[in-house]
Amino acid sequence: MTDMSLFYELDVTNGSVCGPGSRVRAFWSTTHAAPMTPKTMTTDAETSNHEEIDRRWASWMTAAQAGDRAAYETLLRDCIPFIKRVARGQGIRPDLIDDVVQETLLTVHQALQTYDPNRSFTAWLRTIAQRRGIDGWRRVARTGTREVHSPIVYENHSDPGGNPEEAAIEVDQTETSNSALHTLSAGQRQAVEHLALQSQSLAQAAAATGRSTVALRVDWHRALRKLRSQLGGKD
Amino acid sequence: MIRSDANDHLVQALGANLTPVRRLAPPGLRLLMWLAILGAAALAIWMVSDVGVMIRRLSAAPDTMRLAVTGCMLTAVLAAAAAFQLSLPDRRATWALLPLPASLLWIGASGMGCLRAWFSPGSYPMPPSQTEHCLIFIVGVSLPLSLVLIIMLRRGFSLRPNLTAIIGGLACASAAATLLNFIHPYDAAATDLAVHSLAVVIVILANMIFGGRILMRKNGLTSR
pLDDT, tens digit (0-9, with 9 covering 90-100), for A147-193:
777 777 777 777 666 677 777 887 888 888 888 888 888 899 889 88
List, for residues B124-140, the tens digit of each pLDDT value.
Answer: 555 556 677 788 888 99
B8, B10, B90: best mutation site toward chain A, by most A Cβ within 10 Å? B90
Does A29 have pLDDT greater than 60? no
CB contact under 8 A, A107 and B89: yes
* pLDDT recorded at residue A24: 38
Report the percent of chain A where pLDDT is more than 90: 26
pTM for the complete prediction?
0.66
Rounded distance between C-alpha atoms, residue B32 and residue B35, angstroms: 5
Q: Which chain A residue has its CA at the smallest distance from B19's CA?
A: A67
Residue B61 phi/psi, 5-degree rounding, is -75, 155
Decide if pLDDT at A50 tops 90.
Answer: no
**Distance of alpha carbon A131 from its chain centroid, rounded?**
21
Looking at residues A45-68, what average pLDDT do you find?
85
Q: Residue A142: which pLDDT band, with cuts at 50, 70 and 90?
A: confident
A interface mutation test: which of B1, B3, B17, B18 has the most A CBs within 10 A? B18
Which of B3, B11, B16 is facing A105, going by the closest CB pair? B11
- B86-100, B128-142, B184-198: which has the minimum mean pLDDT? B184-198
CA nearest to A63 within chain B: B20
| Predicted pLDDT at B97 | 96
The answer to whether A128 contacts B20, with C-beta atoms less than 8 Å apart, is no
CB within 8 Å: A127 and B159 = yes
- Contacts with A234 (C-beta within 8 Å, 6 or more apart), sequence order: A228
pLDDT for B163 beyond 90: yes
pLDDT of residue A16: 37
The Cα-based distances of A121 to B31, B52, B168 in angstroms read: 23, 52, 27
> Could you report how far apart the first and last alpha carbons of chain A are, in Å?
83
pLDDT at B98: 96
DSSP labels for B23-48? PPPPHHHHHHHHHHHHHHHHHHHHHH
Which of B206, B184, B211 has the alpha carbon at shortest distance from B196? B184
Q: Give the residue from chain B lying closest to A67, CA to CA.
A: B20
Mean pLDDT across the stretch A29-48?
54
- Cβ distance of B16 and A105 shorter than 8 Å: no
B:152-211 residues touching chain A, CB 8 A cutoff: 155-157, 159
pLDDT tens for B26-74 read: 999 999 999 999 999 888 888 877 777 777 777 776 677 788 888 999 9
**DSSP letters of chain A?**
----HHHHHHHHHH--S--TTHHHHHHHHHH--SPP-HHHHHHHHHHHHHHHHHHHHHHHHHHHHTT-HHHHHHHHHHHHHHHHHHHHHTT--GGGHHHHHHHHHHHHHHTGGG--TTS-HHHHHHHHHHHHHHHHHHHHHHHHHH----HHHHHH---GGG-HHHHHHHHHHHHHHHHHHHTS-HHHHHHHIIIIIS---HHHHHHHHT--HHHHHHHHHHHHHHHHHHHT---
- Split at pLDDT 50, 70, 90, the class of A17 is very low
Is residue B201 pLDDT above 60, yes or no?
Answer: yes
Amino acid present at B96: A
> Residues B186-204: what's their mean pLDDT?
80
More confident site: B217 or B70 = B70
Express each pLDDT in A185-211 by its tens digit. 889 988 988 888 888 888 888 888 888
Q: Which of B4, B14, B91 to mutate to test the interface with A (most CBs of A within 10 A)?
A: B14
Interface test with B, best of A72, A106, A114 (most B CBs within 10 A): A114
- Note whether A114 and A74 are within 8 A (CB): no
- Tens of pLDDT, residues B141-160: 999 999 999 999 998 998 89
d(CA B202, CA B219): 25
pLDDT for res B195:
83
Confidence (pLDDT) at A54: 87
Which residue in the set B6, B12, B21 is minimally distant from A65, CB to CB? B21
Average pLDDT score over residue span A24-41 = 44
Nearest chain A Cα to B88, which residue? A114
Mean pLDDT of A51-72: 90
Q: Looking at CA atoms only, how far is residue A183 from chain B in angstroms?
A: 56
If you ran DSSP here, which 8-state letter would residue B187 be given? B
In angstroms, the CA A137 to CA B17 distance is 29
CB-based burial of residue B178 (10 Å sphere; 0-12 exposed, 13-18 middle, 19+ buried)? buried
Q: What is the pLDDT of residue B75?
A: 95
pLDDT range class, residue B111, cuts 50, 70, 90: confident
CA A16 to chain centre: 33
Q: What is the pLDDT of residue A125?
A: 93
- Please tell me if residue B6 touches chain A, with a CB cutoff of 8 Å: yes
- Percent of all residues in chain B with a pLDDT value above 90, rounded to a whole number: 38
Residues of chain A with a CB closer than 8 angstroms to some CB in chain B: 17, 64-67, 69-70, 72-73, 76-77, 80, 98, 101-102, 105-107, 109-116, 119, 123-124, 127-128, 131
For every residue of B96-159, DSSP letters joined together read GGTTHHHHHHHHHHHHHHHHHHHH-TT--BPPGGGHHHHHHHHHHHHHHHHHHHHHHHHTS--S
Across chain A, mean pLDDT equals 78
DSSP H/E element including B191: helix B190-206
